[in-house]
Amino acid sequence: MIRVGIAGGAGYVAGELLRVLINHPEAEVKYIQSESHKGEPIYSVHSDLLYCDLQFADIDFNDIDVLFVCMGHGNSAKFLSENTVPQSVKIIDMSNDFRLKADAGEFVYGAPELNREQIRGARCVANPGCFATSINLALLPLAAAGILPQEVTVTGITGSTGAGQKPTPDTHFSNRSANLSNYKVFTHQHLGEIGETLVAAGAAEDTDIAFVPVRGCHTRGIMSDVVVRLDESLEQITEIFKRYYAEHPFVCVSDKPVYMKQVVNTNYCFISLQKSGRKLLVTAVVDNMMKGASGQAVQNMNLMFGLDEMTGLRLKANYF
């Protein structure tokens, strides 16, 4: 059994991670750390886990095989600098502290659809961001085929869980309910990792992504609509996508339009392609809490420990 420790265990991402790991056939959750809830039962925060008898407690780093760091951006690097984690312990970080090459150190960027073999041999993995996951998966096949144009336009809509557990005036339910608003237009923090990922796959360094993120009025799920202009036919592009993802079990290329309910509560990304003239629309849908965060982190753990990457992640969407 893989002995698991989770640092920063009170947030949405950690809660979702717990829900997956306590049912994972090869994992045992040993420690869940939270400074603000130390000594309390897990269900005092994650109330649906009433059947789980774990408590928030400090982590014995000598008694785990893998550490998931689920702290806010900027806090992961601080936590790891203040705590000595043995070299024998693998680390999967959920923040953006180690995603960019300039900050990565020994961290491998945890996108299995690009870096599967590097992840298998890594000690430390930086889990990708949620929007970055959906947009990268929409564009990686085009970058790898050498046909991704310089200009890319993206509109992405995300659920409220993507804003974290602590409400703000813009993210509070009363503001998001029956409402839509955009934010961080052209400046979203995931653009850096998206650019580096696409370049690693074969895109030009000067690829220009115009990204408009939108706050949705739903709880979870991301839909990214990506528009590029290409001369290749829809049939040619569909073949490029299906060939690229043939060996990647969590990405499905659909012959029909896709929508969020198909993937919510799963670790899948569904992709559809539509073309009119030179304009190509690539739609990618993911669950921001699963493939966009905790599910992908468990997928990376599986790879790092030599397991089938789908272990513990064969989950069914809540369709209705």
Q: Are residues 114 and 162 in the same domain?
A: no
Tell me: do 70 and 51 sit in the same domain. Answer: yes
Neighbouring residues of 189: CB distance < 8 A, sequence distance ≥ 6: 73, 96, 129
Please pick, among 124, 130, 217, 269, the residue that the annotation labels catalytic. Answer: 130
Percent of the chain at pLDDT above 90? 90
Same-domain pairing of 134 and 281: yes
* Mean pLDDT for all residues in the chain: 95
CA 298, CA 22: separation in Å to the nearest integer?
12
So what's the pLDDT on residue 113? 98
The pLDDT value recorded for residue 174 is 73
Give the CATH number of the domain where residue 89 resides. 3.40.50.720
| Cα–Cα dist 10/14, whole Å | 6
Q: Which residue has the higher pLDDT, 316 or 229?
A: 229
With respect to residue 54, please indicate whether it lies within any of the assigned structural domains. Answer: yes
Residues 223 and 275 sit within 8 Å (Cβ to Cβ): no
130 noted as active-site residue:
yes
Taking the C-alpha atoms of residue 122 and residue 14, their distance in angstroms, rounded to an integer, is 22
Domain range spanning residue 201?
A: 130-288
Pairing type for strands 2-7 and 27-33 reads parallel
In-domain check, residue 315: no
Q: Does some domain include residue 50? A: yes
The DSSP secondary-structure symbol of 201 reads H
d(CA 240, CA 43): 46
Q: Is residue 317 situated within a structural domain?
A: no
Assigned token pair, 99: 């995603």
Supply the CATH number for residue 243's domain.
3.30.360.10
- Band (pLDDT 50/70/90 cuts) for residue 169 is confident
pLDDT at 251: 98
Q: Say whether both 196 and 169 belong to one domain.
A: yes
Distance CA 146, CA 203 (A): 7
Query: Is it the case that residue 162 has pLDDT exceeding 80?
Result: no
Write the pLDDT tens digit of every residue in 242-270: 999 999 999 999 999 999 999 999 999 99
- The pLDDT assigned to 57 comes to 96
The answer to whether residue 87 sits within a structural domain is yes
Task: Give mean pLDDT, residues 152-174.
Answer: 81
Rg (CA), the chain: 19
Residue 96 lies inside a defined structural domain of this protein: yes
* Domain identity same for 86 and 203: no
Q: What's the domain count of the chain?
A: 2
Output the pLDDT for position 237.
98
Over residues 31-48, the mean pLDDT reads: 95
Q: Considering the chain, what percentage of its residues have pLDDT values greater than 70?
A: 98
- Does residue 34 sit in the same domain as residue 50? yes
From residue 22, how far is each of 2, 49, 129 by CA, in Å?
A: 11, 10, 23
Q: What's residue 320's pLDDT?
A: 73
57's tokens:
């407690």
In a domain, 311, yes or no: no
pLDDT of residue 155: 98
Cα 82 to Cα 203: distance, rounded to the nearest angstrom: 38
Distances (CA, A) of 89 to 7, 15, 97, 201: 13, 22, 19, 29
Stated as kind and residue range, the H or E segment containing 148 is none
Asked if 9 and 118 sit in the same domain, the reply is yes
The pLDDT of residue 154 is 98
pLDDT in tens, 180-202: 999 999 999 999 999 999 999 99
Q: What is the pLDDT of residue 173?
A: 72
Give the mean model confidence (pLDDT) for residues 102-109. Answer: 96
Do residues 139 and 280 both lie within one domain? yes
273 and 147 housed in the same domain: yes
- CB contact set of 276 (below 8 Å; sequence gap of 6+): none
On the question of pLDDT at 1 being above 80, the answer is yes
Q: Is the pLDDT of residue 8 over 80?
A: yes
Within this chain, do residues 105 and 212 fall inside the same structural domain, yes or no?
no
Give yes or no: residues 135 and 36 share one domain: no
Looking at residue 216, its pLDDT comes to 93
Q: How big is the chain, counted in residues?
A: 320
- Residue 314 in domain: no
DSSP string, 176-223: HTT--EE-STTT-TTHHHHHHHHHHHT--TT-EEEEEEEE-SSSS-EE
- Domain shared by 106 and 162, yes or no: no
